[in-house]
């Protein structure tokens, strides 16, 4: 079984957006795990191939979420510390480690912007689709850099901008049918600040990484049915839960019907799939620091 390092769940002020509150992610942990594992698993496999990861490597997974990077690294013989500020997410990772017989994984509740681990103690530090939600992106990147050994590598993934995401377009179209008077967002979501490859590379270099590169990767995500997808959208993240809570019953039904009809019009009786584009950034720490 995985070992758990007991620490308290991290609770930012209630005024923070829901995706920055640990208790909101803990409430969504089961639905998010069911929804996101399939959408992110292939990106984790890419990420482990883009860093020097060997049997016995010490790996830190920050904002580990569903644990897809943790499991990919552990299966390759790495010793992994999986961290997340949500106790619910960490409990789910622990259960899956036990079910898979992974004995080289430890877990801890930890704030990715203030990691309670020693400097220069890991060969690889990762954050897959987690650091993008941090209130201060650069602070999270500096923490990854701090905990790396000289010559160590950090790998960070984020989604491409919403305009390039098929899932975002599908959901956005259904929302507009359900809420036709909803004003467009005044600015892109906070996480989208990491969605430009050149800017992301410059950001890694600016916080102190000696080298950095970013690749764009697209994967096909398949799922059982439009109904399976629709049923999970309402609770799969704090932001989506807030959106659906704001709808009345008629609006939720309009959204449901619009999403299902859109997918069936394009893909008939399936198999059902959408494409997801993500950016994978790798930063290397100087071997002299």
> Residue 58: which domain range?
3-160+188-220+276-284
Nearest to 129 by CA among 57, 7, 56, 219: 219
**pTM, 2 dp:** 0.88
pLDDT at residue 2, rounded to an integer: 45
What would the mean pLDDT of 247-269 be, rounded to a whole number? 94
CATH number of the domain residue 14 falls in:
3.40.50.150
CA distance 188 to 40: 22
- Residue tagged 């704030």 (tokens): 111
Total number of domains in the chain: 1
pLDDT at residue 8, rounded to an integer: 47
- Residue tagged 């050149």 (tokens): 198
What would the mean pLDDT of 133-143 be, rounded to a whole number? 96
Is residue 140 situated within a structural domain?
A: yes
User: Residue 239 — very low, low, confident or very high, per pLDDT cuts 50/70/90?
Assistant: confident
Is residue 142 situated within a structural domain?
A: yes
With 0-12 / 13-18 / 19 or more C-beta atoms within 10 angstroms meaning exposed / middle / buried, residue 181 is exposed
Is residue 30 situated within a structural domain?
A: yes
Has residue 10 got a pLDDT over 70? no
CA distance 112 to 84: 7
Is residue 53 situated within a structural domain?
A: yes
Nearest to 215 by CA among 230, 233, 203, 198: 198
Has residue 9 got a pLDDT over 50? no
User: Residue 24 — very low, low, confident or very high, per pLDDT cuts 50/70/90?
Assistant: low
pLDDT tens per residue, range 65-116: 999 999 999 999 999 999 999 998 899 999 999 998 889 999 999 999 999 9
Q: Which of 10-19, 90-99, 266-275 has the lowest mean pLDDT?
A: 10-19
Is residue 179 situated within a structural domain?
A: no
Has residue 5 got a pLDDT over 70? no
Taking the CA atoms of 237, 41, 88 and 78 in sequence, report the sign of the dihedral they define: negative
**108 near 134, Cβ under 8 Å?**
no
Is residue 268 situated within a structural domain?
A: no
Beta strands (DSSP E) in 24-100 are 58-61, 79-84
Is residue 12 situated within a structural domain?
A: yes
Instruction: Give the three-class secondary structure for 47.
Output: helix
Is residue 180 situated within a structural domain?
A: no
Q: Which of 24-33, 97-106, 166-175, 265-274 has the lowest mean pLDDT?
A: 24-33
Residue 46's alpha-carbon distances to 35, 157, 181, 218, in angstroms, are 19, 10, 41, 11
What would the mean pLDDT of 253-280 be, rounded to a whole number? 94
Quickly count: other Cβ atoms within 10 Å of residue 7's Cβ: 16
Cα R_g (the chain), whole angstroms: 19
């Amino acid at each position: 079984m995985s070992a758990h390092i007991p620490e308290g769940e991290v609770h930012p002020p209630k005024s923070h957006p829901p995706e920055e509150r640990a208790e909101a992610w803990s409430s969504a942990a089961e639905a998010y795990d069911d929804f996101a594992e399939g959408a992110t698993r292939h990106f984790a496999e890419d990420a482990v191939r883009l860093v020097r990861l060997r049997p016995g490597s010490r790996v830190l997974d920050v904002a580990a979420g569903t644990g897809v990077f943790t499991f990919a690294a552990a299966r390759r013989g790495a010793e992994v510390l999986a961290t997340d500020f949500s106790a619910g997410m960490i409990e789910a990772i622990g259960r899956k480690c036990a079910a898979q017989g992974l004995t080289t994984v430890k877990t801890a509740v930890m704030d990715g912007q203030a990691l309670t681990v020693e400097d220069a103690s890991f060969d690889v530090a990762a954050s897959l689709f987690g650091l993008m939600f941090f209130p201060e992106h650069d602070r999270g990147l500096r923490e990854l850099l701090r905990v790396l050994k000289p010559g160590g590598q950090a790998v960070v993934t984020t989604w491409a901008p919403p305009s390039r995401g098929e899932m975002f377009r599908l959901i956005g179209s259904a929302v507009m049918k359900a809420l036709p008077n909803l004003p467009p967002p005044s600015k892109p979501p906070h996480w989208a600040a990491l969605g430009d490859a050149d800017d992301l590379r410059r950001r890694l270099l600016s916080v102190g990484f000696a080298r950095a590169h970013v690749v764009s990767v697209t994967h096909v995500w398949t799922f059982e049915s439009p109904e399976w997808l629709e049923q999970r959208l309402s609770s799969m993240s704090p932001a989506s839960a807030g959106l659906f809570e704001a709808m009345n019953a008629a609006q939720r039904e309009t959204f449901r019907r619009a999403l299902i009809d859109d997918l069936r019009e394009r893909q008939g009786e399936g198999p059902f799939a959408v494409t997801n584009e993500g950016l994978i950034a790798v930063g290397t720490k100087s071997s002299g620091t």
